[in-house]
Amino acid sequence: MLNVVIFGAPGSGKGTQSDLIIKEFGLDHISTGDVLRAEMKEGTELGKIADDYIVKGQLVPDELIIDMLAKVLDGKEGSKGVVFDGFPRTILQAEALKKMLNERGTDVTLMINLHVEEDELMNRLLERGKISGRSDDNIDTIKSRLDVYRLQIAPLAEYYMKEGKRYAVNGVGTIEEIFERIKEIINRYL
Ligand code: AMP
């Protein structure tokens, strides 16, 4: 399987680039943020708990996310590979993902680390907020999401660096330009 972790701050383009990757390479897409938003919309127990964290821009607790991810992954059996978007966000999640994939005879193939400066992220997220309808695309929540990224999530890049799987990609440019950079890296693994 070709398993790609797409990693970067909120607003760095993970969702946009994930869509292009899955189309180009015939992979499945798992976005934990999308799964949580669907749970919230359905008003499930998990959705209600997640809502409290998401509106504050904080991370949903690891055990909830890991259980949720395991269930979603079970539904992807027979897949050519998966793009993990917004997961993992902590070392514990990364270790859990490795274990889950190893049990299925596979592993994370590579990690794409999109890099965009904070000013640009703020502009992009405020623009997105005008149309996304997301409860967390407002200035206060964006600020805390960027703090959470810098302090809690960004250090995870080191984990994949040590595994020799991390590729830093400049996330500024047109969508097509950025996708070309990513494609060039993924093609090395085919
Ligand atoms: P996203 O759509 O990836 O920007 O995620 C939106 C929000 O969902 C985040 O700010 C977190 O509150 C929550 N979330 C999504 N994925 C995770 C994860 N892997 N671990 C913890 N919280 C998450």
89 is catalytic: yes
Average pLDDT on 142-168 reads: 97
Nearest atom, ligand 1, residue 86 CA: 3
Report the separation in Å between the CA atom of 168 and the middle of ligand 1, taken as the mean of its atom positions: 21
Domain boundaries, the chain: 4-35+81-187
Please tell me the predicted confidence (pLDDT) of residue 31. 98
Please tell me the predicted confidence (pLDDT) of residue 47. 98
Please tell me the predicted confidence (pLDDT) of residue 138. 95
Burial class from Cβ neighbours inside 10 Å (0-12, 13-18, 19+) for residue 182 reads: buried
Find the angle CA(21)-CA(166)-CA(113) to the nearest 5 degrees: 55
Q: Which helix (H) or strand (E) holds 56?
A: none
Please tell me the predicted confidence (pLDDT) of residue 85. 98
| Among 128, 143, 181, 183, the one annotated catalytic | 128
Report the separation in Å between the CA atom of 111 and the middle of ligand 1, taken as the mean of its atom positions: 18
Q: The tokens of 4 are what?
A: 């790609």
128 is catalytic: yes
Computed over its alpha carbons, how large is the radius of gyration of the chain?
16
What percentage of the chain reaches a pLDDT higher than 90?
A: 99
pTM of the model: 0.97
Tens digit of pLDDT for each residue in 1-23? 999 999 999 999 999 999 999 99
Cβ(97) – ligand 1 distance below 6 Å? no
Q: The tokens of 41 are what?
A: 């919309």
Burial 6-19 (b: 16+ CB within 10 A, else e): bbbbbbbbbbbbbb
CATH of domain 4-35+81-187: 3.40.50.300
Report the separation in Å between the CA atom of 78 and the middle of ligand 1, taken as the mean of its atom positions: 26
Q: Residue 157: which pLDDT band, with cuts at 50, 70 and 90?
A: very high
Burial class from Cβ neighbours inside 10 Å (0-12, 13-18, 19+) for residue 131 reads: exposed
Q: What span, in angstroms and rounded, lies between the C-alpha atoms of 130 and 138? A: 9
Please tell me the predicted confidence (pLDDT) of residue 144. 97
Q: What span, in angstroms and rounded, lies between the C-alpha atoms of 187 and 169? A: 15
Tens digit of pLDDT for each residue in 88-125? 999 999 999 999 999 999 999 999 999 999 999 999 99
Chain-wide mean pLDDT for the chain? Answer: 97
Pocket residue to mutate for ligand 1, from 6, 48, 54, 121, most atoms within 8 A of Cβ:
54
Q: 13: alpha, beta or left, given left = phi > 0 and alpha = psi -120 to 50?
A: left
Q: Residue 177: which pLDDT band, with cuts at 50, 70 and 90?
A: very high
Tens digit of pLDDT for each residue in 42-80? 999 999 999 999 999 999 999 999 999 999 999 998 999
